[in-house]
Amino acid sequence: NKDVSDAIQKVAAAYDCKIVEGVLSHQLKQFVIDGNKVILSVSNPDTRVDDAEFEENEVYAVDIVASTGEGKPKLLDEKQTTIYKRAVDKNYHLKMKASRFIFSEINQRFPILPFTARALEEKRARLGLVECVNHDLLQPYPVLYEKPGDYVAHIKFTVLLMPNGSDRITSHPLQELQPTKTIDDPEIKAWLALGTKTKKKGGGKKKKGKKGDKAEGGAEGEAMDASTNG
């Protein structure tokens, strides 16, 4: 995992960018989005993670945020936060009736995974959420800001570590950008040439498709374009 952290920072530096601090890529398991194995985007004395080796058939949420600024975003207004997750290891006897009502709904509908406050039925949700957050029953996902004029790019996807290579199973359309920097480092160029989607190997005869069926394999060999990270 530390090899990946070093590579992420080296690529960002080559494009005169900073990797945003505090962003982690986690191993995923069923109903667990914050697994034990972690990839730290930025290594510093204040943040440490245990050494880990990747193994076949593991699943990871790769989360990379790069900035043209200092890479140290700040919270401007905590009221903008709308995403929360139940901290299952925390307990507290809530005092307010609105808080108990909302917390009961959260435990029933969103006991494990993150949720948006908009999904709560109770109109007094914001009032009840405050007490839950103040006593660590809920983990907020805050909206963070860089300095005005700086650009921030966020790439996130889920990847399976398969025996024949990595296989990206979730993604989103990437904005096509032309980098202003020329990369000469052969190691970095080799990294950027790697894909995150495994080309499927042929295994026997293919069945003839019915008329009107879409052609297969159009995006199977798609790689993340290095220009999108520039």
pLDDT digits (tens, 9 = 90+) for 204-220: 444 444 444 443 333 33
Give the full edge-to-edge strand order of the sheet including 115-116: 115-116, 83-86, 138-141
Q: What is the dihedral of CA 143, 144, 148, 150, to 10 degrees?
A: -120
- Please check whether residues 54 and 91 belong to one and the same domain: no
Mean pLDDT (whole number) for 15-23: 89
Would residue 166 count as lying in a domain? yes
CATH number (domain holding residue 99): 1.10.10.10
Q: Give the domain extent around 161.
A: 1-73+146-193
- Please check whether residues 133 and 160 belong to one and the same domain: no
DSSP classification of residue 28: E
Would residue 180 count as lying in a domain? yes
Residues with Cβ within 8 Å of 23's Cβ and at least 6 positions away in sequence, in order, are: 41, 42, 63, 64, 65
Tally of domains in the chain: 2
pLDDT-derived band of residue 198, with 50, 70 and 90 as boundaries?
Answer: low
What's the rounded Cα separation, in Å, for the pair 69 and 196? 27
Phi–psi pair at 208, nearest 5 degrees = -70, 130
Q: What region does 225 belong to: left with phi over 0, alpha with psi -120 to 50, or beta?
A: beta
> Taken in order 174, 180, 183, 188, is the CA torsion positive or negative?
negative
pLDDT-derived band of residue 86, with 50, 70 and 90 as boundaries?
Answer: very high
What's the rounded Cα separation, in Å, for the pair 117 and 120? 6
What's the rounded Cα separation, in Å, for the pair 40 and 64? 10
CATH number (domain holding residue 44): 3.90.230.10
pLDDT surpasses 70 at 92: yes
Query: What pLDDT is stored for residue 30 in this prediction?
Result: 86
Higher pLDDT, 168 or 179: 168
Would residue 230 count as lying in a domain? no
pTM of the model: 0.72
- Please check whether residues 62 and 3 belong to one and the same domain: yes
pLDDT tens, 115-171?
999 888 766 777 889 999 999 999 999 888 888 888 888 888 999 999 888 888 887
Phi–psi pair at 108, nearest 5 degrees = -80, -40
In angstroms, what CA-CA distances link 119 with 32, 112, 114, 131, 135? 21, 15, 11, 18, 22
What's the rounded Cα separation, in Å, for the pair 100 and 77? 25
Q: In DSSP terms, which residues pair with 65 in a beta bridge? A: 154
Which strand (E) or helix (H) includes residue 13? helix 2-14
Compute the mean pLDDT over every residue in the chain, rounded to the nearest whole number.
81
